[in-house]
Structure 1
Amino acid sequence: MDKVLLLHSSTDGQTVKILNRIKDELSELYHCDVMDANTVPDIDFNAYSKVMIGASIRYGHLNKKLYQFIEKYAEALKNINAAFFCVNLTARKPGKDTPETSKYVQTFIQKSPWTPEVMDVFAGALYYPRYRWFDRVMIQFIMRMTGGETDPTKEIEYTNWDRVGAFAHRFRTL
């Protein structure tokens, strides 16, 4: 059974949840290793037939450690079947939910030395009761500016799971 490496750069866990759903979709065909790209030790990419990276946006940016990881492994990533997805709350809005229309994915493509073969963007989730005070206030401010939910008692998952499944299928066909 081929091995697949599934990497995440997650802040509040929705990216990990999405990656685990993808793992479930792939598990009949592949052995899947799931790792945190922000803390993973050295990786032997020769042990894997494919790689997927999922990353979340916090306050308008991907984690700097993700970019460091990609710079470190750029050549290996260029030489393996690979996919990337971005998770953010802006993608809850039609017209901002594709790699071509997501400013975050476009910024990633400009800043990264690696351009994945397959990409997508998924809406994340709001978990107000789980956030620290500062994060809750900042996210409420951003959501107020963008016409989103601001009730601090709400937990809302915006992720389109059918779309995640379709992305897993596209990854299988790489």
Structure 2
Amino acid sequence: MSQILILYSTTDGHTRSICERLRSIAEAAGHKVTLADITENETIDPAPYDKVVIGASIRYGKHNPKVTAYIKRHRATLEQRPSALFSVNLVARKPGKDTPEGNPYFRRYLRRLPWKPQHLAVFAGRLDYPSYSSLDRWLIRMIMFVTGGPTDPKAVVEFTDWKKVEDLGRLIASM
């Protein structure tokens, strides 16, 4: 049994949902999992854990800077354990953009990171217009219009491939 730390940064809660699914898979495999919001637990020490997973959402092309700060602060520890990093974004709804190699935002983010996790993943997120502020709803609708996505302001569309999430969960459990 391993001690696994799963940290996340979420904008609208969907990255947390993905992490909860990862946790359930790892726990079903007999591991003990700590799940924490990295933006609220910036001081959590990864050293006591056998494996570390970090998931971060993207809004307007950017990951939360607190994720990068955490990674830089704990780089030495992160490099000493099995690890995974994943990104959640709406660009990943398109074929070819749903992989670490094909997702332009994730590729750019990885180039800036000093840490090189062993496993990488990209998941399409959830579009939830009714829950967004007026400004976010308007901006995201414009982005979706330009990129050929849904623009109905009442739309709630989940693009996440949960099988891919479960595959990562099994991989984490076996690291």
Contact 2:4–2:33 (CA<8 Å) still a contact in 1? yes
Give the TM-score taking structure 2 as reference length. 0.96
- The answer to whether structure 1 residue 98 and structure 2 residue 133 are counterparts is no
How far residue 41 of structure 1 moved from its aligned partner, in angstroms, is: 4.3
Distance 1:162 1:149 in 2: 23
Decide which moves more: 32-41 or 77-86. Answer: 32-41
Distance 2:43 2:92 in 1: 32
Give the TM-score taking structure 1 as reference length. 0.96
Q: How does 1:58-77 map to 2 (within 5 A)?
A: 58-77=59-78
Secondary structure of the equivalent of 1:45?
coil
| Partner in structure 1 of residue 56 of structure 2 | 55
| Partner in structure 2 of residue 116 of structure 1 | 117
User: Structure 1: which 4+ aligned runs deviate by more than 3 Å?
Assistant: none
- Structure 1 unaligned regions, length at least 5: none
Distance 1:164 1:83 in 2: 12
| Partner in structure 2 of residue 43 of structure 1 | 44
AA aligned to 1:149 is P
Distance 1:78 1:108 in 2: 17
AA aligned to 1:140 is R
Distance 1:111 1:78 in 2: 16
Distance 2:73 2:42 in 1: 12
Deviations 1:82-103 (A, max 9, x none): 1011000010000111111111
- Structure 2 unaligned regions, length at least 5: none
Number of corresponding residues: 174
Q: How does 1:124-143 map to 2 (within 5 A)?
A: 124-143=125-144
Contact 2:125–2:159 (CA<8 Å) still a contact in 1? yes
CA RMSD of aligned residues (A): 1.0
| Partner in structure 2 of residue 6 of structure 1 | 6
Contact 1:15–1:55 (CA<8 Å) still a contact in 2? yes
Decide which moves more: 115-124 or 162-171. Answer: 162-171
Deviations 1:30-67 (A, max 9, x none): 11111111121423323211010000000011011111
Deviations 1:94-132 (A, max 9, x none): 011111111122112111110110010000000100111
Contact 2:42–2:66 (CA<8 Å) still a contact in 1? no
Distance 1:143 1:41 in 2: 33
Secondary structure of the equivalent of 2:59?
coil
Distance 1:115 1:75 in 2: 11
- The answer to whether structure 1 residue 22 and structure 2 residue 8 are counterparts is no
Distance 2:87 2:42 in 1: 22
